[in-house]
Amino acid sequence: MLLAAPAGAAEKQAVVPSMRGKVETVAARCEAPADLLALKAPMPQVAQRLAEGKQLTIVALGSSSTEGIGATTPAHAYPARLETELHALLPHMEITVLNKGISGEDVDQMMVRFERDVLAPEPDLVIWQAGVNAAIKGLPLSDVSEKLSRGIELARSRGIDVMLMGPQNAPRYVNAPHRREYTEALTDLARKYHAPIFPRFRVMTHWMASGAFKQDELIREDGLHMTDAGYYCLARLLARAIANEPRTRAIAGEPRVPAAPSR
């Protein structure tokens, strides 16, 4: 039985943008193998919030593909779509996804605003997209890894779960100098901190290799930014991964998450 929606939830859900038109018809084409979508590390704060069934707050931190460059409207950026998809999966909960993406930024600039945009809102989860601009600009990989590590540790110290967002499969990233090293660095950080990473590159590769989408249906003419359909599918699968967090932990036989500290 679904829990009653908290006070104000109905009003909040009513103002969440609802995407209509041809993009919505691509839902069936968004699918990807379960092993690609299974999060390899726990999100205890998220699991606790889902177990309580009341509210969940997420900060989406990143650059242009978080802000939503390439989308026809801000309502089609992945954070807005993620909020809509989570509402559909968890209608009894109050869901808030804050879009803290700023186009063109690298991890140094994100760390300058980390206190204001990530720690101050006291979210349960931050989804951090970084590294694409650094790879394209050829910035020192060690500096990127050091700043990401610092941010992960700061968020964890406040009881905030961290999920890393992998890079998009787009020509300007694929052709970036040493882009494989940047991808591997994100994977290494996820392993070091036992943090989940959403494999956006591999998921998009699957969509194109399987024939579900052509590249120009997912990536804009600039060779970097995603289309409405790309953002929609990303949000759809990401929402499912987040909503399945308690079930994933139970299947893995992990212990019950202790009560989260009040924040």
Strand 161-165 relative to strand 125-129, pairing = parallel
- At residue 190, the pLDDT reads 94
Contact by Cβ (8 Å): 154, 193: no
Nearest to 155 by CA among 230, 32, 244, 46: 46
- At residue 142, the pLDDT reads 87
Q: Where are the alpha helices (DSSP H) in the chain?
A: 9-15, 34-37, 44-52, 64-67, 78-89, 107-112, 114, 132-137, 141-157, 171-174, 179-192, 200-209, 215-218, 228-243, 245-251
- At residue 98, the pLDDT reads 98
- At residue 23, the pLDDT reads 60
Query: Rounded to whole angstroms, how far apart are CA atoms 38 and 252?
Result: 11
DSSP 255: P
CA angle in degrees (0–180, nearest 5) for 97-229-106: 55
**Torsion on CA atoms 192, 206, 100, 151, rounded to nearest 10:** 10
8 sits in the region (left: phi over 0; alpha: psi -120 to 50; else beta) called left
- At residue 253, the pLDDT reads 42
Name the one residue in this structure whose structure tokens are 């932990």: 249
- At residue 258, the pLDDT reads 38
- At residue 6, the pLDDT reads 38
Residue 198's alpha-carbon distances to 136, 165, 201, 230, 254, in angstroms, are: 20, 5, 9, 14, 20
- At residue 177, the pLDDT reads 83
The pTM score is 0.86
What is the mean pLDDT for each group of 10 consecutive residues in the chain (263 residues)?
A: 36 42 74 89 95 96 96 95 96 97 94 98 97 86 92 98 96 89 91 95 96 94 94 96 71 40 42
Query: Rounded to whole angstroms, how far apart are CA atoms 123 and 11?
Result: 21
The burial of 214, by beta-carbon neighbours within 10 Å (0-12 exposed, 13-18 middle, 19 or more buried), is given as exposed
Query: Rounded to whole angstroms, how far apart are CA atoms 161 and 241?
Result: 14
- What the chain holds in terms of domains, given with CATH numbers, is 29-247 (3.40.50.1110)
E strand or H helix at 99, and its extent? strand 94-101
- At residue 75, the pLDDT reads 94
